[in-house]
Structure 1
Amino acid sequence: MSVSQEEQRSGVYQAHFRVWRGDEHAGDLADYTVEVHEGEVVLDIVHRLQATQAPDLAVRWNCKAGKCGSCSAEINGRPRLMCMTRMSVFDRTETITITPMRAFPVVRDLVTDVSFNYTKAREIPSFVPPAELAPGEYRMQQEDVGRSQEFRKCIECFLCQDTCHVVRDHEENKAAFAGPRFLMRIAELDMHPLDAAPDSGIDRKATAQDEHGLGYCNITKCCTEVCPEHIKITDNALIPLKERAADRKYDPLVWLGNKIRRRGE
């Protein structure tokens, strides 16, 4: 599709889209030609498509500001937020393909069932407050705050879960693998200096390895690459968690210390 000189001057042009239409039983890509205005994002075009040609197109969205994580999809095969993907990053003659997140079951059109993620979230024990401190008495060094504060930026768009090949390409792994978003949550809690989980019998490093599939992660950094909040999931959460789990399990000094401690009990 060529772009006329008049379209180039006005900033308005016609773009070719292929959008996946269907449900959990069957579906296919449908072709549309949609008007695009200067400064718009992909979600704007999807809304115009709903308003002009496909009123029954199902799409999940909320804030349109890159903060709710609702409008996750795959655009030209890459997991992205539709509201944060500007049309200007594509050539005007390019065909833009929008499909639902591949790692999760399709509900209809671009809407997927992401309940897998909520199931995994419930499996992770929450923060355990220290017994000797009352609310309002918690004190932390700024360095400790900064270490895990980055992970709090997560908007739970689940793009990292979608792109992780452990769940994307192997459905059978889902039962034993929490995925990068929730391994990052375990790392955040394990790094928290006030988390009293060990005192309550919870070994976060051991459960990450034995119950949440930390060993499945081979640190390809694909989760980091698609994160819209630019969280360094691999470098700052997953690798440190792997190192802590390995130290706990294989470090001879840690093993000897545990032996001595158990003998003295």
Structure 2
Amino acid sequence: MSTSTGAAASATSYEARFRVWRGDADGGGLHDFRVEVNDGEVVLDIIHRIQATQAPDLAVRWNCKAGKCGSCSAEVNGRPRLMCMTRMTDFARDETLTVTPLRAFPVLRDLVTDVSFNYEKAREVPGFVPPPGVAAGEYRMDQVDVDRSQEFRKCIECYLCQNTCHVVRDHEENKTAFAGPRFLMRVAELDMHPLDAAAQAGLDRRRTAQEEHGLGYCNITKCCTDVCPEGIKITDNALIPLKERAADRKYDPLVWLGSKIRRRGAASGPGA
């Protein structure tokens, strides 16, 4: 009985070749490993096995191992991925897998990067502005509006979209002026939210998207959409519509005139 079990186990396991980046902010390089792979495993399983058997000081960030925390982001064969959602069966058994840290952010150690850039950008986006005169719990929205926003709420903040966006990835100097697709998506969500009262509070989200968050830097290559593990259509459903609304606000003479009339009416007040 034990012999047949062992034979079955060996039939579904094999030895894989891995190249894993090791180092810190001062530099590093790729290290070669040969490691056992079993049926049904993902890349994160193999990284953990390398830790357990060959490199106990290998640094890797992870948490849920269920594709919902976004912690184990890395680049596998040059493509930004969640290691816990990247199955070994996606690759040929004789293929050498290269695992490197996210390229757009500073390396702390091995596969762990400093993603604080994203937290800084998150703080720069003004939050939801509650509608005046409506208490929390009394908000009402049409289902179609709920559905539109819900897609963007699926974001797990893995920052793969931020990492693959060439505006951030290839041009360090852009980081001060560009929020990146994850946070422009947040601006787009709030701008289309039917209960967001930012305009009444004097906040023009379309203007800030263009002038403060760098919307114009995005040239809609859809690389952010391509790597999103939640399948969010970041480009088509958030960034392109936001660009269209921002362009209308700035260049459409009728929209411009209407906004001037609305602002003048609001300034005059009901007793004017």
| Normalised-by-shorter TM-score class | over 0.9
Measured after TM superposition, the shift of residue 91 of structure 1 is 0.3
- Cα 1:261–1:63 shift into 2, 3 Å: closer
Sort the Cα spacing of 1:151 and 1:246 in 2 relative to 1 into closer, same or farther, 3 A.
Answer: same
> Which residues of structure 1 form unaligned runs of 5+?
1-5
| Corresponding pairs, count | 260
Q: Kindly provide the amino acid, as one letter, of the partner of residue 53 in structure 1.
A: Q
The CA distance in 2 between the partners of 1:225 and 1:186, in whole Å, is 20
Q: CA deviation at 1:73?
A: 0.1
Deviation at 1:8, TM superposition (A): 10
* Alpha-carbon separation, structure 1, partners of 2:239 and 2:132: 28
- SS where residue 197 of structure 1 aligns? coil
| Counterpart Cα distance in 1 of 2:8 and 2:38 | 10
Mean CA deviation greater in 210-219 or 8-17: 8-17
Mapping for residues 92-131 of structure 1, pairs under 5 Å: 92-131=93-132
1:42 is aligned to 2:43: yes
- Check if 1:186 corresponds to 2:182: no
Within 5 Å, give how 1:47-66 maps onto structure 2.
47-66=48-67
Change (3 A) 1:210 1:24: same
> Could you say which residue in structure 1 is the equivalent of 2:31?
30
Q: Secondary structure at the match of 1:194?
A: coil
CA drift at 1:135: 1.2
Q: Structure 2: give runs of 5+ residues left out of the alignment.
A: 1-6
TM-score, length of structure 2 as denominator length: 0.93
Cα distance, 1:255 vs structure 2: 1.8
Q: Does residue 239 of structure 1 match 2:257?
A: no
1:71 counterpart residue number: 72
Identity among equivalent pairs (%): 79
Residue of structure 1 in register with 2:164 after alignment: 163
Take 2:259 and 2:81, find their aligned partners in 1: how far apart are those partners?
45
Q: 1:129 to 1:11 in 2, by over 3 A?
A: same
Give me the whole-angstrom Cα distance separating, in 2, the residues matched to 1:131 and 1:20.
Answer: 53
After superposition, the CA RMSD in angstroms is 1.4
Query: Structure 1 residues 92 and 122 mapped into 2: Cα distance closer, same or farther (>3 Å)?
Result: same
Matching residue's letter, 2:66: A
Q: Distance in 2 between matches of 1:262 and 1:193?
A: 19
Q: Is 131-140 or 211-220 further displaced after alignment?
A: 131-140
Which amino acid letter does the alignment assign opposite residue 126 of structure 2?
P
Aligned equivalents of 2:97, 2:8: Cα separation in 1: 18
State the TM-score, normalizing by the size of structure 1.
Answer: 0.95
* In structure 1, distance between residues paired with 2:214 and 2:17: 41
8 Å Cα contact 1:69-1:81 kept in structure 2:
yes
CA offset at residue 148 of structure 1? 1.0
